[in-house]
Structure 1
Amino acid sequence: MQIRVYYEDTDTGGVVYHSNYLNFCERARSESFFRLGLTPVLQNGHFVAKRVEADYISSAKLGDELHVDTKLTEMRAASFKLMQSIYREDKKIFELHITLAYINFKGKPQRITKDVEELISSLFVN
């Protein structure tokens, strides 16, 4: 997914504020669903971040065009792991490892059904 860095994404020096890299990754994950006419909120539940590990390699700046690449790295019974990389041109500037848990609408973890597993696997090809 392509992202342009806007003024609202930066600090007073025109450098992307650290938490906005997480927002960029969230937008890319959501956009994967939107492209199929879906949302990340499914009939039986939705996903929440359980664990996040971020590596800030280089700074993005106002006006930069960025690309977010998302890959599935592990599928488990009630969660899955993704690696998301943000690039400026061909240079990786950020890497995120995130575990997303599948929960029902009462906030309880639930098993990922076969159809949801197939959807996730198709959205985030490793």
Structure 2
Amino acid sequence: MKIRVYYEDTDAAGIVYYANYLKYCERARSEVFFEAGETPQSASGYFVVKELEAKYLSPASLGDILTIETELLEKRSASIVLLQRVKKEASLLFEMKIKLAYLHQGRPVKIPEKIYRLVSAWESGE
């Protein structure tokens, strides 16, 4: 997924504010659902962040075109682990490893097969 950095994404120096990298990754994860005519939450459940490890490697700036890549590292019955990278051309700017738990009414439940099929797109690192 590609994202352009807008003025609203930056601090006074024109550098992307650190929390926006998390938003960019969230948008990339959500887009897989939207492209399939689905939403990231449904009557059967929703994902929540259980763990997150982030590395800020190089800053992005106003006007940059960023690519967000997502790779599925692990699938369990009620959780997935992803590696997400934000790049500017070939330069790696940010990466995070994120564990998402699938819940229904606040309790962990098995991820439905339909959701597994959607997130399987990330097995190839899209």
The TM-score normalised by the length of structure 1 is 0.93
Give, as a single letter, the amino acid of the residue that structure 2 aligns with 1:68: I
1:12 partner SS = coil
Unpaired runs of 5+ residues, structure 2, are none
Deviation of 1:117 (Å): 2.0
Distance of 1:119 and 1:28 partners within structure 2: 13
Query: What per-residue deviation string (whole Å, max 9, x for no partner) do you get for residues 73-108 of structure 1?
Result: 00112100000001001111110100000000x211
Instruction: Give 2:117's aligned residue.
Output: 118
Q: Indicate whether 1:15 and 2:15 are aligned.
A: yes
Cα RMSD after superposing both structures: 1.1
Distance of 2:120 and 2:3 partners within structure 1: 23
Q: Which is richer in strand?
A: 2
Unpaired runs of 5+ residues, structure 1, are none
Give, as a single letter, the amino acid of the residue that structure 2 aligns with 1:18: Y
Distance of 1:9 and 1:58 partners within structure 2: 15
The TM-score normalised by the length of structure 2 is 0.93
Work out the number of aligned pairs and report it. Answer: 124
Percentage identity across paired residues of the two chains:
49
